[in-house]
Structure 1
Amino acid sequence: MRDFELYVITGEEFHPERDVVEVMEEAIQGGADIIQLRDKTSDKKTVFEKAKKLKALCASYDIPFIVNDHIDVALAVEADGVHVGQEDLPLTEVRKLVGPDKIIGVSSHCLSEAITAEKEGADYIGVGPIFATKSKVDVVDPVTTSYIQEVKAAISIPFVAIGGIKKHNLQEVVDAGAERVCVITEIVAAEDVKQATIDFKQVLIEAKQ
């Protein structure tokens, strides 16, 4: 889990005319290191079918595939891991369900949540939203880059910055201490997803130099 830089989450509402598998394959070809399926509106069978296809896709490129929230679906398709929020099952219970070898990521919005996630055995932590974002409803207020600095100083497991991150503010995120970033609209909403991913990753590489 330490060897990734660019984490891309699905956002099918931002490309309604295109298949999610096709879009995510272009993102992988452009340099995405890890993919997450996030679908909070479809029925369980539909989520399962998408997850099965995305798991096969990620396996073909040898990158991790994560399922958001749907632990049963993640287990059914043998996903590499799950990502849960603060309102989902406690991490300790998730670990009992998925076993010791699956990746578990936890969203955090303040340092106490991040510290708790690390203590309970999270493999990585989502840190955000850094900036205002339209990719998620009922999102909390932006935590700003100061939260990145807090987590960087207090947490030893990998963390990924998320929320409103674009090419134009990426340097600010990296300067605050983030080595890994998560993106949705900046990539999946692009007309040319592969090129958008290439461009974003190049900016990320340059920002870290």
Structure 2
Amino acid sequence: MVATTKMHMNSNLELYLVTDEAACLGRDFYWVVEEAVKGGVTMVQLREKSLSTRAFIERAKRLKAILETYNVPLIINDRLDVALAVDADGVHIGQSDMPFQTAHRLLGEGKIIGLSAEKQDDVLEAEQWNLSYLAVSPLFATPTKTDTEKPWELDGLQWARQQSRHPLVVIGGLHPENVHDAITNGANGVAVVSAICSAPSPREAAQALKSIIQNSILWPAKNF
């Protein structure tokens, strides 16, 4: 099924970095993100669970200034107030966060809104909304997030592709050895955390993943 949702003008979901300062292994957070973008990251989600609102906003402002240089969208995880404060390109919301309708009304047109889908009912419910993308999470088991539903695996991804009109991003346990399978089984983009943030060279890690993704997109589409 072909996705028909209208995307933000700069949206490119191919290689989606979700930040995690701990995964940067003591290296400068902004350096890691900028190196990743230089290597081919096409979208960045700022995810902060422990910062105060003021510190979150300051980090988002600084990161936005870096990303604007590369025309890469900044997505804020969960916090619509932070997204509004810095005029971020969009938000990513989970199933327990603010309802899509409310986020869309407050953000207005032209912003990116992504939603996590952790089970089949989430995918079906999302069909009524004009999302920018749906995040199938987790695709594979991952130590990064342990408070999730069971992994979708590739057969679950194929099912989601059949049912959803939205672009699909997969997250959870993605690395160079399984990214090709994710794309050829229905994903429009791949979201990673440690595969880039913890890599010896975030730029080279991003380059390698981007190459696999782009080559996989050229493969004949499977008939889901």
Q: Shared topology, TM-score over 0.5? A: yes
Aligned to 1:143: 152
With a CA cutoff of 8 Å and minimum separation of 6, indicate the structure with the bigger relative contact order: 2
Give the Å deviation of 1:186: 0.5
Three-state SS of the structure 2 residue aligned to 1:119 is coil
Picking from 198, 202, 205, the partner of 2:211 is 202
Aligned to 1:35: 44
* In 2: Cα distance, 1:194 partner to 1:26 partner: 5
Give the Å deviation of 1:204: 1.9
- Name structure 1 gaps, 5 residues minimum: none
Letter in 2 for 1:196: A
Q: Please, what TM-score do these two structures have when normalized by structure 2?
A: 0.88
* In 1: Cα distance, 2:12 partner to 2:162 partner: 20
Q: Which digits, 9 at most, give the CA deviation of each residue in 1:98-129, with x for residues without a partner?
A: 12221110000123212322312221110120
Give the Å deviation of 1:55: 1.0
RMSD: 1.5
- Name structure 2 gaps, 5 residues minimum: 1-6, 219-224
1:120 aligns with 2:129: yes
1:102 aligns with 2:111: yes
Three-state SS of the structure 1 residue aligned to 2:177 is helix
Aligned to 2:189: 180
Aligned to 2:222: none
Identity fraction in percent: 37
Structure number with higher helix proportion: 1
* In 2: Cα distance, 1:118 partner to 1:37 partner: 26
Letter in 2 for 1:54: L
Letter in 2 for 1:85: G
* In 2: Cα distance, 1:18 partner to 1:49 partner: 19
Aligned to 2:221: none
Q: Please, what TM-score do these two structures have when normalized by structure 1?
A: 0.94
